[in-house]
Amino acid sequence: MPSIPSSLARAAALTPGGFRHSVCKWCYPDIPLAEFAAVVKGFGIESVELLDPAEWAVVQKLGLTCAMANGTTSIGKGMNRLEHHAAYVPSMIERINQCAEAGLPNVILFSGNRDGMPDEQGLENCATGLKQIVGEAEKRGVTVCMELMNSKVNHQDYMCDRTPWGVELVKRVGSERFKLLYDIYHMQVMEGDVIRTIQQSHPYIGHYHTAGYPGRNEIDDTQELNYPAIMRAIKATGFTGFVAQEFLPKRTPPLDSLKEAVEICSE
């Protein structure tokens, strides 16, 4: 198994309270999960995420965790419609309990698409559903995270597509066990102003995703986001959770790009 790069060891030693590295498996569909987890562990990665319950034990056997478990809502049909709550509230409570029993820290869910619904109504409906879920999350020590995603390029009509909307939802729910998943790529598409947004909104953020912009590919100097500066901004907030690589590698072998991304995010 590859050893941890010396640059990562130095970064860990010099950054007390720094965040932890994770990676989204869906970006590497051709590599079996066990093989993937064994290799990325050698890069200093502690988590393989966006996995279903049947997959958790595969990474845990290798000493890794799943920092963001898959929830039960879908991107297009989420918590913003009251008619979905009858199914999603009990299924999310069940998933929270599964995460707690497996020792996993976070579970994802989605707002759903607007489909003509005003944003204020979506806020109200999401808060109504989430308030039925967060009590169990508080008891079990699992954080529920709604992902901020762009509605301009990748997920047309998605409602939770701006940080202020997401922050307002977190405030209305009013629980330390409900936070935002701030996807740097998606919010660069929608808003830009990434570092200032992180500085201002970090109390409402529980998890981060990366990718290069434009293209959602490598986070190197082929794209416009300055990831070393962004990572320093995240660390400066006192964040000690996970930052997950979620880019689609164009180069081969793809894991070389992943190793480089972890090193970039450890500068």
Interatomic CA distance for residues 52 and 115, integer angstroms: 28
Q: Confirm if 72 and 92 have CB atoms less than 8 A apart.
A: yes
pLDDT in tens, 100-133: 999 999 999 999 999 999 999 999 999 999 999 9
pLDDT of residue 68: 98
Q: Report, as an integer, the average pLDDT of 166-187.
A: 98
Strands in 205-210's sheet, in edge-to-edge order, are: 47-49, 20-24, 242-245, 205-210, 178-183, 143-148, 106-109
Q: Is the pLDDT of residue 19 over 90?
A: no
- Write out pLDDT tens, residues 221-246: 999 999 999 999 999 999 999 999 99
Q: Which amino acid makes up residue 133?
A: I
Flag whether 147 is in a domain.
yes
Tokens 């190793």, residue located: 259
192: domain range? 6-264
What one-character DSSP code corresponds to residue 65? B
220 and 212 in contact (C-beta within 8 Å)?
yes
Q: Which amino acid is at 52?
A: D
Q: What is the per-residue pLDDT for 15?
A: 34
Asked if residue 226 belongs to a domain, the reply is: yes
The pLDDT of residue 11 is 37
Tokens read off for 106: 């976070």
- pLDDT tens sequence across 33-83: 999 999 999 999 999 999 999 999 999 999 999 999 999 999 999 999 999
Mean pLDDT of 198-207: 98
Q: Average pLDDT of the chain?
A: 93
Tokens of 214: 């434009």
Write out the H or E segment, with its range, that includes residue 122. helix 119-131
CATH of the domain at 100: 3.20.20.150
The number of folded domains in the chain is 1
Q: What's the predicted TM-score (pTM) here?
A: 0.93
Q: Is residue 1 in a domain?
A: no
